[in-house]
């Protein structure tokens, strides 16, 4: 199936930009709140006698930084490396610190935590970009695939109605008439086939290869057929 992808309009481009800008503003606000919480917590911990070294709390905040830094679009190697250097450094610092500093009541002066944080930071800086890109690999593959609009996806599946009828009967041992095929296609598009909000404007797009696989009796088709059969045969 050949389908020419329309270029986004001026309004669509700006809508996408504004949504991305909003995400980054929210992330900055979250980081500022996180920083205030960290400073306040460390100040209070400094005033209260605790059985564990104070730098442990700093390492915990480093470890959790990745959970606050959720916006990664556009992708940036420096940001990826710094974020993962902090998180992995915090984790390894806690592990070595627990083995040395905490176990000795802080007698090592934080050397174990410093060594662990340094080693973890170097690992995070070296591999952070690869780790981040690997986690987004599947999503990027989908977005780079040929996408078609909801209406085009509906028309394509309608053109494959004979195949859909045949495969539906194989799954649930019941035939579909023309009207039921139309309803089954809409049911599948709405609740089973994976879609992407390409321009973040509420309009759904579908990956062409997913539609092709759907008509070839894959697992998604099986689930859609079974659920459609249950819904209309209660």
Last residue of a domain, one of 135, 161, 191: 135
Q: Does residue 67 sit within a domain? A: yes
Residue 184: pLDDT over 90? yes
Q: Does residue 169 sit within a domain?
A: yes
Same domain, 47 and 86: yes
Q: Is residue 175 part of a domain?
A: yes
Confidence of residue 187 (pLDDT cuts 50, 70, 90): very high
Query: pLDDT digit string (tens) for 22-36?
Result: 778 888 998 999 999
Residue 35 lies in a domain: yes
CB 113 within 8 A of CB 94: yes
CA 65 to CA 84: how far, in whole Å? 9
Query: What percentage of the chain has pLDDT greater than the value 90?
Result: 15
Query: 200 lies in a domain?
Result: yes
Number of domains in the chain: 2
Say yes or no to pLDDT of 14 above 60: no
Q: Assess if residue 2 is contained within a domain.
A: no
Do residues 24 and 43 share a domain?
yes
CA atoms within 13 A on the CB side of 79: 11
Domain of residue 187, residue span: 144-231
Residue 32 in tokens: 């500022």
Q: Which of 107, 135, 163 is the last residue of a domain?
A: 135
Give CA–CA dist 88/123, Å, rounded. 7
- Complete edge-to-edge strand list for the sheet that includes strand 195-196: 147-149, 205-207, 195-196
Assess if residue 5 is contained within a domain.
no
Same domain, residue pair 128 and 149: no
Q: What is the mean pLDDT of the chain?
A: 80
- Predicted confidence at residue 51, as pLDDT, reads 74
Q: Is the pLDDT of residue 57 over 50?
A: yes
13 pLDDT band, cuts 50/70/90, is: very low
In a domain, 17, yes or no: yes
Note the pLDDT tens digit of each residue in 98-135: 787 667 765 666 787 888 888 988 998 888 888 887 76
Contact 202, 147 (CB under 8 A): no
For residues 113 and 192, membership in a common domain is answered with: no
Write down the pLDDT at residue 11.
46
Which residue among 89, 108, 135 closes a domain?
135
Does the pLDDT of residue 136 top 90, yes or no?
no
* Judgement on whether residues 54 and 72 belong to the same structural domain of the protein: yes
Whether 76 and 112 map to the same domain: the answer is yes
Q: What b-and-e string marks burial along 153-190, b requiring 16 or more CB atoms within 10 Å of the CB?
A: bbebbeebbeebbebbeebeeeebeeebbeebbebbbe
For residues 131 and 149, state if they share a domain. Answer: no
């Amino acid at each position: 199936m050949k389908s020419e992808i329309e270029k986004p309009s001026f309004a669509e481009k700006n809508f996408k930009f504004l949504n991305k800008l909003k995400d980054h503003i929210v992330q900055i606000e979250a980081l500022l709140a996180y920083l205030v919480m960290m400073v306040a917590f460390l100040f209070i911990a400094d005033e209260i006698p605790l059985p564990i070294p104070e730098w442990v709390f700093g390492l915990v905040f480093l470890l959790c930084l990745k959970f606050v830094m959720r916006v990664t679009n556009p992708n940036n190697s420096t940001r990826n490396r710094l974020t993962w250097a902090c998180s992995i450094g915090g984790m390894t610092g806690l592990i070595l610190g627990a083995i040395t500093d905490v176990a000795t009541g802080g007698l090592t002066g934080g050397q174990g935590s410093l060594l662990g944080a340094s080693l973890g930071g170097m690992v995070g800086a070296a591999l952070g970009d690869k780790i981040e890109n690997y986690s987004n690999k599947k999503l990027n593959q989908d977005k780079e695939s040929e996408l078609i609009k909801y209406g085009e996806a509906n028309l394509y599946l309608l053109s494959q109605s004979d195949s859909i009828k045949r495969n539906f009967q194989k799954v649930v041992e019941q035939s579909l008439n023309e009207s039921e095929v139309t309803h089954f296609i809409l049911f599948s598009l709405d609740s089973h086939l994976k879609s992407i909000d390409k321009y973040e404007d509420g309009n759904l797009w579908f990956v062409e290869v997913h539609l092709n696989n759907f008509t070839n009796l894959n697992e998604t088709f099986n689930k859609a057929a079974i659920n459609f059969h249950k819904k209309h045969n209660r």
